[in-house]
């Protein structure tokens, strides 16, 4: 990994220039300067799996945590209009001890954290009774020799559950929705995965600041050897001191630890202080990158310096229009195709935007324009407003 503090090589990848072998009297260098902080390299997590993303991103990072919850709770609050009353009961029915809102909130949360969301149809014979979200890391896909998915498997309590798809009817007890992933046609890519470097930067900045405060907020610096002391560091002493400094006084957890100096050594503060390095601004920029990956306006998270929107209302409307509504519309379309295998192709599931308080003002303006337009009929106005005909109004899922 690139280290901006690492000393560059003598040439750009070339071998050192050969010089004649000249006998020079051996002489010990005085080594007057030793900067202990220069050997600390930046650390980033490897290609993180689902568990590490949840641990480092959702459990430890407040920005990513709030983004996931804001999206999941907002999307789960959008009511769905269902054309079939039996399907409406299936979607509305929650599992024992929970509600359908919690099921959809978990589904959207898994989708943001892992890029994949799963619903299992709780069957009574061949008919679904309810739908239940499943953790994406508990499922594995089986593929044929052409790379096409054949079924999903889940390991539960030492036994394997399989979810095959009926080739004749298209029925499957498992619903899978994924976010776009250019590297895979079967698994999605989560926003948290795209923002993991910003999450690491935000987390490590917090660890550094906390460790620095715990160690009296003392800045780092360099050890200077005084030649007037009449003693010079031997090679063994120099290497031992360097190793001790690297192991005990470098890294965010060792920031500001006091040094115990021997004779002839003096401490000189030379590095930038945390204020000069502006960790606060660095973490703010990382927080903005995290919010950008999730599609949440920074203003909704209370991040300063966001002048994209004139006020909170505009930011909230943009959040709903650009993030929540497309996500819920995609989910409704996916549920329609999935449950149509059980209930027939006549099924239609759509989001009810009239039930979204954040869009109430926009809907009121649209209704006012349609009601004042004398050149269109009532049915045309209902169609332009996204409403069904009067004789075909689907029931809502509250």
Taking only the tens place, the pLDDT of each residue in 124-168 is: 888 899 999 999 988 988 877 777 777 889 888 788 899 988 877
Task: Report the chain's C-alpha Rg in angstroms.
Answer: 30
**Domain end: 250, 278, 311, which one?**
311
d(CA 398, CA 395): 9
If asked whether residues 346 and 255 sit together in one domain, one would say no
If asked whether residues 257 and 139 sit together in one domain, one would say yes
CA 202 to each of CA 71, 83, 170, 275: distance values in angstroms, whole numbers, following the listed order: 21, 46, 45, 16
Domain range holding 380? 312-393
| The two three-digit tokens of residue 323, written as one number | 């993030």
Beta-carbon neighbour count of residue 171 at 10 Å? Answer: 18
- 0.85 exceeded by pTM: no
pLDDT at residue 393, as a whole number: 55
Place of tokens 């990158």: 289
For residue 259, name the pLDDT band (cuts at 50, 70, 90). low
Half-sphere exposure of 85 (CA within 13 A, CB side): 2
If asked whether residues 337 and 230 sit together in one domain, one would say no
If asked whether residues 166 and 191 sit together in one domain, one would say yes
Place of tokens 């519309």: 329
If asked whether residues 188 and 248 sit together in one domain, one would say yes
Of residues 349 and 41, which shows the higher confidence score? 349
If asked whether residues 279 and 366 sit together in one domain, one would say no
3-class SS of residue 23: coil
For residue 22, name the pLDDT band (cuts at 50, 70, 90). very low
d(CA 82, CA 154): 30
**Domain end: 279, 311, 343, which one?**
311
Beta-carbon neighbour count of residue 81 at 10 Å? Answer: 22
Q: Is residue 8 part of a domain?
A: no
Element (H, E) at 285: helix 279-294
If asked whether residues 317 and 388 sit together in one domain, one would say yes
| The two three-digit tokens of residue 188, written as one number | 């999605």
If asked whether residues 355 and 237 sit together in one domain, one would say no
How confident is the prediction for the chain on average, in pLDDT?
A: 77
Q: Is residue 22 part of a domain?
A: no
Taking only the tens place, the pLDDT of each residue in 169-197 is: 778 999 999 999 998 878 899 999 999 89
If asked whether residues 228 and 266 sit together in one domain, one would say yes
Taking only the tens place, the pLDDT of each residue in 61-104 is: 999 999 999 999 999 999 999 999 999 999 988 888 888 999 99
3-class SS of residue 379: helix
Closest by CA to 222, choosing from 30, 36, 40, 39, is: 36
d(CA 364, CA 82): 23
pLDDT at residue 35, as a whole number: 38
In sequence order, what are the residues at sequence separation of 6 or more whose Cβ sits closer than 8 angstroms to the Cβ of residue 128? 90, 121, 122, 339, 342
If asked whether residues 153 and 270 sit together in one domain, one would say yes
Closest by CA to 75, choosing from 50, 48, 119, 112, is: 112
Given a contact cutoff of 8 angstroms between Cβ atoms, the answer to whether 129 and 138 are in contact is no
Give how many domains the chain has, as a whole number: 2
Q: Is residue 299 part of a domain?
A: yes
d(CA 359, CA 248): 56
For residue 81, the cross-strand partners are 350, 396
Q: Is residue 337 part of a domain?
A: yes
Q: Is residue 86 part of a domain?
A: yes
Q: Is residue 321 part of a domain?
A: yes
């Amino acid at each position: 990994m690139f280290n901006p503090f690492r000393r560059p090589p003598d040439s750009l990848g070339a071998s050192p220039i050969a010089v004649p072998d000249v006998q020079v009297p051996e002489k010990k260098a005085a080594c007057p300067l030793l900067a202990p902080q220069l050997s600390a390299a930046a650390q980033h997590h490897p290609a993180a799996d689902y568990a590490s993303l949840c641990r480092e991103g959702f459990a430890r990072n407040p920005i990513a945590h709030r983004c996931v919850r804001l999206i999941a709770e907002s999307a789960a609050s959008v009511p769905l209009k269902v054309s079939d009353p039996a399907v409406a009961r299936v979607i509305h029915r929650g599992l024992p001890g929970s509600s359908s809102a919690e099921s959809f909130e978990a589904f959207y949360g898994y989708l943001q954290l892992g890029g994949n969301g799963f619903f299992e149809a709780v069957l009574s014979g061949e008919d679904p009774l309810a739908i239940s979200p499943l953790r994406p890391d508990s499922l594995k896909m089986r593929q044929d020799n052409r790379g096409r998915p054949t079924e999903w498997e889940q390991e539960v309590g030492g036994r394997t559950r399989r979810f095959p798809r009926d080739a004749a009817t298209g029925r499957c007890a498992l619903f899978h929705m994924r976010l776009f992933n250019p590297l895979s046609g079967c698994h999605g890519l989560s926003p948290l995965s795209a923002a993991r470097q910003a999450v690491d930067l935000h987390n490590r900045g917090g660890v550094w600041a906390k460790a620095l405060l715990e160690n009296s907020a003392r800045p780092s610096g360099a050890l200077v050897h005084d030649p007037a002391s009449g003693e010079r560091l031997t090679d063994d002493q120099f290497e031992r001191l360097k190793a001790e400094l690297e192991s005990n006084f470098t890294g965010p957890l060792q920031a500001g630890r006091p040094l115990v100096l021997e004779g002839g050594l003096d401490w000189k503060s030379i590095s930038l202080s945390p204020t000069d390095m502006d960790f606060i601004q660095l973490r703010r920029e990382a927080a903005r990158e995290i919010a950008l990956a999730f599609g949440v306006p920074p203003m909704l998270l209370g991040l300063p310096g966001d002048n994209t929107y004139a006020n909170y209302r505009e930011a909230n409307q943009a959040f709903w229009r650009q993030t929540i509504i497309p996500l819920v519309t995609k989910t409704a379309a996916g549920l329609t195709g999935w449950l149509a295998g059980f209930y027939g192709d006549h099924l239609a599931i759509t989001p009810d935007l009239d039930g979204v308080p954040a869009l109430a003002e926009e809907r009121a303006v649209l209704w006012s324009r349609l009601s004042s337009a004398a050149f269109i009929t009532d049915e045309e106005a209902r169609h332009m407003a996204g409403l069904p005909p009067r004789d075909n109004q689907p029931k809502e899922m509250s």
